[in-house]
């Protein structure tokens, strides 16, 4: 693991795990413990730092937003359509007199929690089925692969609009639907990673020790596909944010009157002349958050690649 060309020479106070062997394939199962949450490397670019700051603020808003602005969805017709920078209303109000900034903060949870659940949930399915398909092969692989082929034959957006629309799905139903629709690509990715790991000597060694199939798959093989998994969860989070907010923009998945970014943008469409902030603020925010997740995802992927654990 040492001697990576890109690793800075000064930042090595000794190998973290002190394992003397060279290369991951020399012993049974290089474990997850070799993987730090934030691997060392050169200083991140300003865009990465900015993305982390933004995502930190978003996380705070998602946790405390609905508590701080508990009455964000309260309507007061007397205060409707105030322009930005009015006293007490930083971004003005919409046509129902709701404060745009308060709505934005209160809607963070709805915009962010769903996508996280979608990315993690679909990856859980992806890890279980992808590993089974890639390691077990045979009929199981055949069934799992055909399942993902069928779902991948149609665009996620189309399926989501049709199913969520016809069945009047609520927020969590829509999230569950997207977990299912996101899983085929995760299954494929994990399967490909496992297929690549399966013939390696450490797997053979584990088989020789007659470890159980489940233990080999999920304790020894999966940790070696981990970088692939982490990067994909991040990329999927951004994709899920886009999909879920597009659905709520179209009026699917989120009830009218709820604080939600997609909903807010839909409501702000008619206010271009009166209070453009009601449209621009949530639209810009959603673009920035999605970009930030992608930046962090790319940075993560590059670092893991540089560490040589692929």
Partner 1 sequence: MLTTTPTPARQASRALARMIAVRVVGVVFILLVISLLTFGLMYLAPGDLVKNLLGNRPTSPEAVAAIREQYRLDDPFFVQYFTWLGNALQGDFGTSVRMQQPVTTVIGARVGLTVALCLLSFLIAAIVAIPLGIASAARAGSTIDRVSSSVTLIGLSAPTFALALLLLYLFAFFLPIFPIYGGGSGPLDTLYHLVLPAIILAAGLGAILMRMTRAAMIRELGSDAVSFARARGIAERDVRWIALRAAAIPIVTGAGLVLTFLVGGTIIVETIFALPGLGSLLQDSVLFKDIPVVQALTLVVAAVIAVIAIVVDLSYLALDPRVRTREFAR
Output the six-digit token pair for 262: 């997609």
Output the six-digit token pair for 84: 């930005």
Q: Which is nearer to partner 1, 28 or 265 (CB)?
A: 265
Cβ within 8 Å of residue 12, ≥6 positions away:
2
Number of residues that bind partner 1 (CB under 8 A): 43
Q: Which is nearer to partner 1, 194 or 293 (CB)?
A: 293
Q: Is 64 in the site for partner 1 (CB under 8 A)?
A: no
Nearest approach in angstroms of CB 261 to partner 1 is 9
Q: Is 291 in the site for partner 1 (CB under 8 A)?
A: yes
Q: Is 165 in the site for partner 1 (CB under 8 A)?
A: yes
Q: Is 279 in the site for partner 1 (CB under 8 A)?
A: yes
Task: Please say whether the beta carbons of 245 and 289 come within 8 A.
Answer: no
Rounded Cα gap, residues 40 and 50, in angstroms:
18
Query: Which residue from 120, 250, 302, 306 is in contact with partner 1, where contact means CB under 8 A?
Result: 250
Angle, CA of 151, 153 and 158, to the nearest 5°: 80
Query: Which residue from 60, 68, 255, 284 is in contact with partner 1, where contact means CB under 8 A?
Result: 284
Q: Is 265 in the site for partner 1 (CB under 8 A)?
A: yes
Task: Please say whether the beta carbons of 281 and 84 come within 8 A.
Answer: no
Q: Is 217 in the site for partner 1 (CB under 8 A)?
A: no
Query: Which residue from 8, 32, 74, 149 is in contact with partner 1, where contact means CB under 8 A?
Result: 149
Nearest approach in angstroms of CB 293 to partner 1 is 7
Angle, CA of 68, 98 and 287, to the nearest 5°: 75
Rounded Cα gap, residues 227 and 169, in angstroms:
34
Q: Is 49 in the site for partner 1 (CB under 8 A)?
A: no
Q: Is 153 in the site for partner 1 (CB under 8 A)?
A: yes
Query: Which residue from 73, 86, 124, 294 is in contact with partner 1, where contact means CB under 8 A?
Result: 294
Q: Which is nearer to partner 1, 37 or 46 (CB)?
A: 46
**Which of the 8 DSSP states describes residue 309?**
-
Nearest approach in angstroms of CB 249 to partner 1 is 5
Q: Is 35 in the site for partner 1 (CB under 8 A)?
A: no
Q: Is 39 in the site for partner 1 (CB under 8 A)?
A: no
Q: Is 280 in the site for partner 1 (CB under 8 A)?
A: yes
Cβ within 8 Å of residue 155, ≥6 positions away:
none
Q: Is 245 in the site for partner 1 (CB under 8 A)?
A: yes
Site residues for partner 1, window 167-206 (CB under 8 A)?
167-168
Task: Please say whether the beta carbons of 76 and 66 come within 8 A.
Answer: no
Q: What is the CA radius of gyration of the chain?
A: 23
Listed in sequence order, the DSSP H helices in the chain are 46-68, 100-106, 108-131, 138-152, 156-166, 171-197, 201-208, 213-215, 222-249, 261-268, 277-307
Query: Which residue from 161, 176, 180, 205 is in contact with partner 1, where contact means CB under 8 A?
Result: 161
For the chain, give the longest Cα–Cα distance: 77
Nearest approach in angstroms of CB 57 to partner 1 is 17
Nearest approach in angstroms of CB 276 to partner 1 is 6
Task: Please say whether the beta carbons of 309 and 24 come within 8 A.
Answer: yes
Total number of residues shown for the chain: 310
Q: What is the contact surface with partner 1 in residues (CB under 8 A)?
A: 149-150, 153-158, 161-162, 165-168, 238, 241-243, 245-246, 249-252, 262, 265, 268-269, 272-273, 276, 279-280, 282-284, 286-287, 290-291, 293-295
């Amino acid at each position: 693991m040492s001697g990576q060309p890109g690793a800075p020479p000064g930042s090595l106070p000794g190998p973290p795990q002190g394992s003397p062997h060279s290369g991951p394939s020399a012993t049974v199962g290089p474990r997850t413990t070799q993987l730090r949450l934030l691997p060392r490397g050169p200083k991140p670019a300003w865009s990465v730092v900015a993305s982390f700051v933004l995502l930190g603020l978003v996380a705070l808003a998602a946790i405390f937003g609905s508590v701080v602005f508990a009455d964000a969805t309260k309507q007061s017709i007397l205060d409707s359509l105030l322009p930005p920078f009015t006293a007490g209303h930083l971004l003005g109000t919409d046509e129902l007199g709701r404060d745009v900034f308060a709505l934005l903060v209160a809607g963070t949870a709805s915009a962010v929690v769903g996508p996280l659940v979608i990315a993690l949930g679909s990856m859980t399915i992806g890890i279980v089925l992808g590993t089974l398909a890639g390691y077990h092969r045979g009929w199981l692989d055949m069934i799992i692969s055909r399942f993902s082929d069928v779902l991948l034959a149609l665009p996620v957006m189309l399926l989501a609009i049709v199913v969520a629309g016809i069945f009047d799905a609520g927020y969590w139903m829509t999230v569950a639907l997207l977990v299912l629709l996101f899983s085929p690509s995760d299954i494929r990715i994990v399967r490909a990673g496992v297929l690549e790991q399966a013939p390696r000597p450490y797997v053979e060694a584990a088989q020789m020790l007659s470890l159980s199939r489940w233990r080999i798959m999920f304790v020894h093989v999966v940790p070696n596909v981990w970088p692939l998994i982490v990067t994909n969860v991040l990329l999927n989070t951004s994709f899920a944010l886009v999909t879920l907010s597009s659905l709520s923009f179209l009026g699917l998945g989120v009830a009218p009157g709820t604080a939600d970014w997609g909903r807010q943008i839909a409501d702000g469409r008619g206010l271009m002349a009166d209070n453009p902030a009601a449209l621009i603020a949530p639209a810009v925010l959603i673009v920035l958050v999605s970009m930030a997740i992608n930046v962090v995802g790319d940075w993560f992927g590059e670092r893991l690649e540089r560490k040589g654990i692929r």
